[in-house]
Amino acid sequence: MTIANDEPAAGRPRMQRARGEGRLTTKHAHGRTRLAGLYQDGCAKIRLPRVFGDGPLEAVLINSSGGLTGGDRLDWSIAAGAETSTVVTTQASEKVYRASEGVARVTTRIEIGRDARLAWLPQETILFDRSALSRRLDISLARGGQALLVEPVVFGRLAMREQLRRAVFHDRWRIRYNGRLIHAEDQRFGPDIALQLERSAMLSGMRAMATVVWVHPDAEDHVERVRALVPGCGTGVSAWRPAGFATGKLLARFVAEDGYTLRKRLAPVLAMLNGKAGVPKVWSI
């Protein structure tokens, strides 16, 4: 499995790859969150379903290429203006297919303005055998900003009897609050991913996982509430308030035997932490 770089092997033609860039900016005007700027290029599309009442602005990200493979590029940029409320999700699960060469790369940059609230709630990323994905999530919150973030990952679809033997997956998170780093992690799997997933320190043979981070002043008060929603089912929850910060951070890890079970466990937790906005409607379509 050759995925060390994105260049074609000597003597082989360069294959056509998907490229996409999407940018969304919101602002607070006339008592509501409104669109301030929208840019989309290539396979990256953004749709804004109509929202009734005083709910947050909802954005749905779409990869019109139908999935990712080695050499593809997706770049998302979201800027939530001061005092806005925004929910960002995806139209469907992102499928990462076999890579003949190269690595698929997805970069997401999110800026959350003063006293703004943003929920980053994409649907699952599904890895197929011999796929290669490098993903980066960078979040910057101004003072008073709040964020609910989730990234679910499925290692082969159990219902389709897919076997994930060799693949590469790198997931990098950086979250900063008022210019200071409050969360950093790098997860690396592969290339012998099947062996790694069986280890007790990894997924113990499970096929799906998710990370949830909630940056909120009341984070520490919700630890037991989250645990009560998913008792004894492969979930770890902790929270703390970094010294000198006016906010806290809740971190939850989920593992499950398949994507369906993972979603059933995630949905009530996200619905509670996201308040009256709940879980995006496209999750149930």
pLDDT tens, position by position, 162-201: 778 899 999 999 999 999 999 999 999 989 998 888 888 7
Give the pLDDT score at 52. Answer: 74
Of the candidates 259, 254, 278, the residue with the CA atom closest to the CA atom of residue 94 = 259
Tell how strand 208-216 and strand 248-256 pair up. antiparallel
Report whether pLDDT(1) > 50.
Answer: no
CB-based contacts of 184, cutoff 8 Å, min separation 6: 173, 174, 175
Question: Mean pLDDT of all residues in the chain?
Answer: 90
Q: What is the pTM of this model?
A: 0.91
Length of the chain (residues): 285
Report whether pLDDT(214) > 50.
Answer: yes
Of the candidates 171, 170, 119, 172, the residue with the CA atom closest to the CA atom of residue 141 = 119
Q: DSSP 3-state assignment of 266? A: helix
In the chain, % helix, strand, coil (3-state, to 5) comes to 15, 45, 40
pLDDT tens, position by position, 91-117: 999 999 999 889 999 999 999 999 999
CB-based contacts of 102, cutoff 8 Å, min separation 6: 3, 5, 6, 7, 17, 70, 71, 132
Q: Please state, as a whole number, how many other Cβ atoms lie within 10 Å of the Cβ of residue 100.
A: 17
